[in-house]
């Protein structure tokens, strides 16, 4: 059994997605079997939650074992986690914070697998945030895309505009919104090519939206992608992984400079 105190008003589904990764994988079954309790009362559907409510998930050993994340590196200053597709970054943070002092530094989209780094003390948090702000963190992704770009390697520049109402973004060549720079290299050609993608800026949905903008969307992406291709190829999982993370930090984290962390997930 896992028990949580609700920090703010919301819904059970949203709270589960952002708090308990194992339960997020099996919430429908837990609700169907009435294995979720709010303030001691069994519930069978998504219900409103109030700040201060207590939520308990009664999972089987197999359900609870699927954490959706593993730790690939940890010391007294930082923790590097490798998350599954389908897990919110906030849920990873929630579980780590239950273990001890943890600071949220950056996030991945729910359906993007791969590496996240967290700070374990205030000094490490400040250094990591400074590194990300100064673009001294190299982030490399692997992506399967629909089709093969004719140019085998390119550095793309465009502009990204957020649409809060639809929780999405659009990419344009006109100088409006935020400038984005995305580099790619074709590693394998074919109907679903494999790209190595390096982020030079880190904006919301940047890789997915930018690749879709040039006509080669990420396979399995239902927001910006080719839904007909996804259906025809039974592509139900977004084929994007945050595969490598390399820091160029100083100060307290200087000992990590140049070290490359790698995800175990593949596209």
Residues annotated as catalytic (active site), given as ranges = 109
Task: Specify the 3-state DSSP secondary structure of 235.
Answer: coil
DSSP collapsed to 3 states, 184-203: EEEEECCCECEEEEEECCCC
β-strands 240-247, 113-119: how paired? parallel
- Both tokens of residue 102? 């943890």
d(CA 194, CA 93): 30
- Both tokens of residue 96? 């780590």
Phi, psi of 160 (to 5 degrees): -120, 130
d(CA 252, CA 254): 6
Q: Residue 196: how many CA atoms within 13 Å on its side-chain side? A: 10
Quote the strand ranges of 76-136, DSSP E: 78-83, 103-104, 113-119
């Amino acid at each position: 059994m896992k028990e949580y105190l609700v920090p703010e008003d919301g819904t059970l589904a949203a709270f589960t997605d952002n708090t308990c990764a194992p339960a997020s994988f099996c919430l429908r079954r837990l609700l169907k079997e009435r294995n979720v309790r709010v303030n001691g009362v069994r519930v069978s559907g998504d219900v409103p939650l109030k700040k201060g409510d207590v939520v308990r998930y009664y999972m089987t050993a197999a359900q609870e074992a699927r954490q959706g994340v593993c730790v690939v590196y940890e010391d007294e200053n930082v923790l590097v986690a490798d998350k599954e597709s389908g897990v919110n970054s906030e849920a990873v943070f929630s579980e780590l914070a239950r273990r001890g002092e943890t600071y949220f530094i950056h996030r991945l989209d729910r359906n993007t697998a791969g590496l996240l780094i967290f700070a374990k003390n205030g000094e490490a948090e400040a250094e990591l945030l400074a590194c990300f702000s100064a673009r001294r963190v190299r982030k490399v992704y692997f992506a399967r895309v629909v089709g093969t770009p004719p140019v085998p390697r390119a550095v793309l520049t465009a502009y990204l505009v957020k649409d809060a109402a639809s929780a999405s973004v659009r990419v344009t060549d006109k100088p409006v919104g935020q400038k984005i720079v995305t580099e790619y290299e074709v590693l394998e050609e074919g109907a679903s090519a494999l790209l190595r993608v390096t982020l030079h800026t880190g904006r919301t949905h940047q890789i997915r939206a930018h690749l879709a903008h040039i006509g080669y969307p990420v396979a399995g992406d239902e927001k910006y992608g080719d839904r007909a291709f996804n259906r025809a190829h039974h592509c139900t999982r977004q084929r994007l992984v945050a595969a490598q993370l390399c820091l160029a930090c100083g100060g307290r984290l200087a000992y990590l400079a140049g070290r490359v962390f790698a995800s175990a997930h593949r596209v």
